[in-house]
């Protein structure tokens, strides 16, 4: 169990998280939902130790102190925006990460799954958005980690790659791994998530299973259940507000 307690995070006057308590069960797939700017990425980055909360704690096999890096060796992370030197070739990026991490890895299987062989000698600068996302997906899953955190993993993926992504997530879960992802794609939640966390106005608005969410709102379709929460609370999913910051350590 990953336990988050009483998490507060502000950027200046922007109070993003206002007392978040969460339990993420291990060996399951959890989807973090919420409108743009609701703090999904912030929570993931706090879990990863990339953002320091103003208050609160994260417990995963013991309390995690900010600046504690050892536990990250057990995490695969797909950032919302991944940045690597653009002149690197795909093959060079894979070997660079494999060398840095120094853990056994399964690269070839994933390269085959995501049909990346024709792109291995290409420089990152020349890749399409979808191919970049496939590269990032492989980087996330290449090590045998305990926890996989993905921030909007489907962006740019074609339908074949989407199916592969779902297969990989299900495979890791069937091997007892914990998967946590954010998305705006409700079909992905429908097909994969054991548990849903819905963030609104800096707090957890809902935590439970898909069927609990449906029952609560008397809606069979998850989009409609979510739309109902947002309409009732005067928010708008996908409000289109740009996220003006870069992926960074803050
Ligand atoms: N490094 C940062 N500096 C200033 N504001 C930030 C930073 N990161 C996020 N924010 C702000 O925090 C809020 C939540 O952002 P985020 O966690 O990225 O939301 P989500 O992932 O749910 O779209 C937004 O208003 C965003 O602009
Ligand atoms: Mg985000």
Contact 201, 18 (CB under 8 A): yes
Task: Classify the C-alpha dihedral 245-227-201-62 as positive or negative.
Answer: negative
Residue 66 Cβ contacting ligand 1 at under 6 Å = no
Atom of ligand 1 nearest to the CA of 250: 1
CATH number, domain of 100, equals 3.40.50.300
Within a domain: 17: yes
The DSSP H or E segment spanning 103 is none
Within a domain: 9: yes
Within a domain: 50: yes
Atom of ligand 1 nearest to the CA of 182: 21
3-state SS class at 185: coil
> Which of 31, 74, 21, 89 shows the shortest CA–CA distance to 210?
31
pLDDT at 232: 78
Within a domain: 176: yes
Within a domain: 31: yes
What protein residues have CB closer than 5 angstroms to ion ligand 2? 40-41, 80
pLDDT bin (cut points 50, 70, 90) of residue 241 is very low
Within a domain: 238: no
Pocket test for ligand 1, best of 31, 32, 39 (most atoms within 8 A of CB): 39
The torsion angles phi and psi of 182, rounded to 5 degrees, stand at: -110, 150
Is 247 a residue whose pLDDT tops 50?
no
pLDDT bin (cut points 50, 70, 90) of residue 226 is confident
Is 249 a residue whose pLDDT tops 50?
no
Token pair in block for residue 99: 């060398």
Q: Could you give the number of structural domains in the chain? A: 1
pLDDT bin (cut points 50, 70, 90) of residue 235 is low
Range 146-159 average pLDDT: 95
Is 248 a residue whose pLDDT tops 50?
no
Closest protein CA for atom 17 of ligand 1? 39
Range 190-217 average pLDDT: 90
Place of tokens 């291995």: 120
- Show contacts of 130-137: CB within 8 Å, 24+ apart: 130/156, 130/157, 130/158, 130/161, 132/82, 132/156, 133/157, 133/161, 134/161, 135/90, 135/93, 136/78, 136/79, 136/82, 137/78, 137/110, 137/161, 137/165, 137/168
Atom of ligand 1 nearest to the CA of 43: 17
Within a domain: 244: no
Q: For 163-193, how does the pLDDT look when each residue is reduced to its tens digit (9 = 90+)?
A: 999 999 999 999 999 999 999 999 899 999 9
pLDDT at 108: 95
pLDDT at 102: 85
Range 225-237 average pLDDT: 71
Contact 198, 229 (CB under 8 A): yes
pTM above 0.85, yes or no: yes
For residue 169, the tally of other CB atoms under 10 A from its CB is: 22
Range 222-250 average pLDDT: 58
Atom of ligand 1 nearest to the CA of 199: 22
Question: Nearest ligand to the C-alpha of residue 16?
Answer: 1
Residue 14 Cβ contacting ligand 1 at under 6 Å = yes
Ligand 1 centroid distance, CA of 21 (Å): 19
Within a domain: 148: yes
Residue numbers of the domain that contains 50: 2-232
> How far, in whole angstroms, is CA 112 from its chain's centroid?
23
Residue 41 Cβ contacting ligand 1 at under 6 Å = yes
Q: Which of 116-130, 132-146, 210-224 has the lowest mean pLDDT?
A: 210-224
Range 100-104 average pLDDT: 89
Ligand 2 centroid distance, CA of 200 (Å): 13
Atom of ligand 1 nearest to the CA of 42: 17
Token pair in block for residue 152: 């909007």
């Amino acid at each position: 169990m990953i336990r988050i307690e009483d998490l507060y995070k502000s950027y200046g006057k922007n109070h993003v998280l206002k007392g978040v308590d969460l339990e993420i069960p291990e060996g399951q797939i959890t989807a973090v939902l919420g409108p743009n700017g609701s703090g999904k990425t912030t929570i993931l980055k706090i879990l990863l130790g990339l953002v320091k909360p103003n208050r609160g704690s994260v417990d995963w096999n013991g309390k995690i102190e900010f600046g504690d890096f050892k536990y990250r060796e057990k995490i695969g992370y797909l950032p919302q925006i991944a940045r690597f030197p653009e002149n690197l070739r795909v093959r060079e990026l894979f070997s660079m990460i494999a060398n840095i991490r120094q853990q056994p890895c399964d690269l070839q299987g994933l390269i085959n799954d995501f049909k990346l062989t024709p792109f291995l000698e290409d420089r990152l600068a020349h890749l399409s958005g979808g191919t970049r996302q496939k590269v990032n997906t492989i980087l996330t899953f290449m090590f045998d980690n305990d926890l996989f955190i993905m921030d909007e993993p489907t962006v740019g993926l074609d339908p074949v790659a989407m199916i592969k992504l779902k297969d990989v997530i299900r495979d890791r879960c069937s091997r007892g791994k914990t998967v946590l992802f954010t998305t705006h794609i409700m079909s992905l939640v429908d097909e994969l998530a054991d548990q849903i966390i819905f963030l609104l106005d800096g707090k957890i608005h809902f935590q439970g299973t898909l069927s609990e969410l449906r029952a609560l709102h008397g809606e069979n379709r998850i989009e409609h259940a979510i739309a109902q929460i947002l309409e009732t609370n005067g928010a708008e999913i996908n409000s289109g507000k740009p996220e003006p910051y870069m992926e960074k350590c803050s």
